[in-house]
Amino acid sequence: MNINALTVPEPPGGPYLRVIPLGGCGEIGRNMTVIETNEDLVVVDCGLMFPDEEMYGVDIVINDFTYLREHRDKFRALLVTHGHEDHIGGIPYLLREFNVPVVGTALTIALIKAKSRDHKMIGEANLVTVKPGDRVRYGSIETEFVHINHSVSGACALALRTETGTVFHTGDFKFDQTPIDGRPADFASIARIGDEGVLCMLSDSTNAERPGHTLSERIVGEAFTNVFSHAKGRIIVASFASNVPRIQQVIDHAITFDRKIAFLGRSLTNVVHFASELGYLSVPADRTMRVEEIEELPPEKVVVMTTGSQGEPMSGLTRMSVRDNPRLKIVPGDTVVISATPIPGNEKGVYKTIDNLYRLGAIVVHGTDGRSHVSGHGSQEELLLMLNLVRPEFFVPVHGEYRMLVQHGKLAQRTGVDARSVFVVENGDVLEFTKDYGDKVGKTYGGHVFVDGSGVGDVGEAVLRDRRLLAADGFMMVVVAIDSEEGRLITGPDIISRGVFYMPDAGGVMEELRAELTALIEKVSLEGIRDVNTVKEHVREGLAKAIMARYKRRPVIVPVVMEV
């Protein structure tokens, strides 16, 4: 069968299991996986992806929920591994259509709730909090939450037990032998689940190209110690708001080096609030201060934590770097620690921020040099360890661009997984498992859905193509009124242009263009052409040619011909 055509065969007779990654395979972000049996369907994660520069005007990218609509009656629950945007960002949109319980650990649920400001849906949703080790049953599918390490607290892998067999989904993970919260991954449970037998494992491929072992979060502490013991002025640390272990390390260093800490930025203060309330974070009240209090302390007594480690335009650090942050101004002597590495695509923004901070006289320590950041994703040695602990019969690398999935698939084979049992799949590929076989049997909707403003899915390729053309060369509009009898010009041509060239300088040219178009329309009229659309076409072509000849540009041209 042609498994590229969009086609999903009828389920086989007898018990079956389907595993369908709807996002996150072949790209970074919008992670989402369907786990389906004869009677029941659960979804693991529902993330968002940030648009690339080709997706003009798109705010976020979410998954296509078509397959879920087609199986609405079986859809029992959404199980969430952890609270990062690429795993929870699509939930508000999912809840608009599906009233299913959303299940995760306390901090994960808190981070989902934090979205309720923007999306009331979530306020009314059925949010179920679990602890690592808990088991929940939805329909015939029992799911065990297993503690693993990641760059956000409360992250879990999931073991989903079905009649056909167990699916083990690692979520995002690393194996940190010396984590800040003192709780390494639950090796015992993972090993036990492996012993019980795992039919299919889905595993995080983000660092599948990286040899060796990802460094422990504790290494960042050493970098911080180095910075804190040398900095003469204020210390400003930028990281991801959700990186609770990182926040804890900054707090701990503030205490050790007798500085007071302030948190700048809504998302960050939210997380600090939730996380400490839930016991993920210990923040001694007497060591913290409000941003307004910073000025009252000498520089060497101040630590500020903020967001903007990715050079996001409106974030705390980025605004500081261009003197646009009313709450904190960078001054010479400040030490800025960017405790993150740029996500592919963000490099330019991050480096621009770093350059601007240098211009303001700050000392800048960034993740790309030194060790002020470590990844939250396991490298090859950890991926191999996970494979050896779980020893799955079938393996599906997920969460990565295509080359990473290929690489991860090769790693699996090195641990003894049969080459034919490794499925390097793309979004929407349908994997089917029964007692007798496991195979890729079809393909369903795994595409992008663009969210622009309040519109979901109404911006597609056609609209983006128009925006691309407009972005490249702007548009020109010609307005003329002709009389319906003889098609003679009555008013106009008026030419309106945006983004084509600098109008004030183009005065002479505009006159020429008007003259040319007037002549053109008269010619068309003399030729006895009356049909408005034909006239329009002539005007469009005429103007396009004239602009191309003069400027080698191709603006979008909109002729408006009115009959009066």
Q: Which residues bind its own copies (CB under 8 A)?
A: 26, 52-53, 56-57, 209, 344-345, 347-348, 351, 354-356, 358-359, 364, 369, 401-403, 406, 452-455, 458-460, 462-464, 466-475, 477, 479, 481, 490-491, 494, 496, 498-502, 505-506, 550-553, 556, 558, 560, 562, 564
- In the complex, the smallest distance separating the C-beta of residue 500 from its own copies, rounded to whole angstroms, is 7
Question: d(Cα 476, Cα 3) in Å, to the nearest integer?
Answer: 45
| Cα–Cα distance, 365 to 255 (Å, whole number) | 21
SS3 breakdown of the chain: % helix, strand, coil, rounded to 5?
35, 25, 40
Nearer to its own copies (CB atom), residue 83 or residue 559: 559
244 vs 357 by CB, closer to its own copies: 357
HEC string of 89-114 equals CCHHHHHHHCCCCEEEEHHHHHHHHH
Smallest distance from its own copies to CB 185, Å: 27
CB of 182 or CB of 504, closer to its own copies: 504
What are the DSSP calls for 18-36, one per residue?
Answer: EEEEEESBSBSS--EEEEE
**Least gap, CB of 348 to its own copies (angstroms):** 5
CB 159 within 8 A of CB 195: no
CA distance from start to end of the chain: 60
Shortest spacing between CB 402 and its own copies, in angstroms = 4
We find the least distance from the C-beta atom of residue 397 to its own copies, in angstroms, to be: 12
CB of 439 to its own copies, least distance (A): 20
Residue 5 structure tokens:
């055509």
Cβ neighbours of 462 (radius 10 Å): 8
Distance in angstroms (rounded) separating the CA atoms of residues 453 and 103:
28
User: What are the beta bridge partners of residue 303?
Assistant: 235, 261
The smaller minimum CB distance to its own copies, of residues 297 and 558, is found at 558
Neighbours of 229 (CB within 10 A): 10
- One-letter amino acid for residue 272 of the chain: V
Q: Torsion over CA of 202, 207, 213 and 216, rounded to 10 degrees?
A: -100
Comparing CB distances to its own copies, the nearer of 165 and 311 is 311
Query: Considering beta carbons, is residue 13 or 211 the nearer one to its own copies?
Result: 211
3-class DSSP assignment, residue 156 = strand
Query: Which of 204, 429, 452, 473 is an active site residue?
Result: 204
Q: Find the largest Cα–Cα distance for the chain.
A: 89
Catalytic residue (choose from 377, 399, 448, 538): 377
> For residues 392 and 559, which CB has a smaller minimum distance to its own copies in the complex?
559
What token pair was written down for 274? 């939730």
Two tokens at 531? 């049909």
The rounded distance, in Å, linking the Cα atoms of 56 and 51 is 8
Do 260 and 289 contact (CB within 8 A), yes or no? yes
Least separation, in Å, of the C-beta of 536 and its own copies?
11
186 as an active site residue: the answer is no
| Conformation bin of residue 414: beta by default, left when phi > 0, alpha when psi is -120 to 50 | alpha
Q: Which long-range contacts (CB under 8 A, 24 or more apart) does 244-247 make?
A: 244/107, 244/152, 244/153, 244/271, 244/275, 244/280, 244/281, 245/151, 245/153, 245/179, 245/180, 245/181, 245/217, 246/151, 246/217, 246/220, 246/339, 247/271, 247/272, 247/275, 247/281, 247/305
Q: Catalytic site residue 204? A: yes
Please name the residue ranges forming H helices in 197-333. Answer: 217-230, 244-256, 266-277, 316-321
Least distance in angstroms from the C-beta of 286 to its own copies: 37
**Smaller CB separation from its own copies, 128 or 456:** 456
Give the integer Cα–Cα distance in Å for 540 and 510.
Answer: 15
Residue (25 or 281) nearer to its own copies, CB: 25
Q: Least CB distance from residue 456 to its own copies, whole Å? A: 11
Active site residues: 204, 377
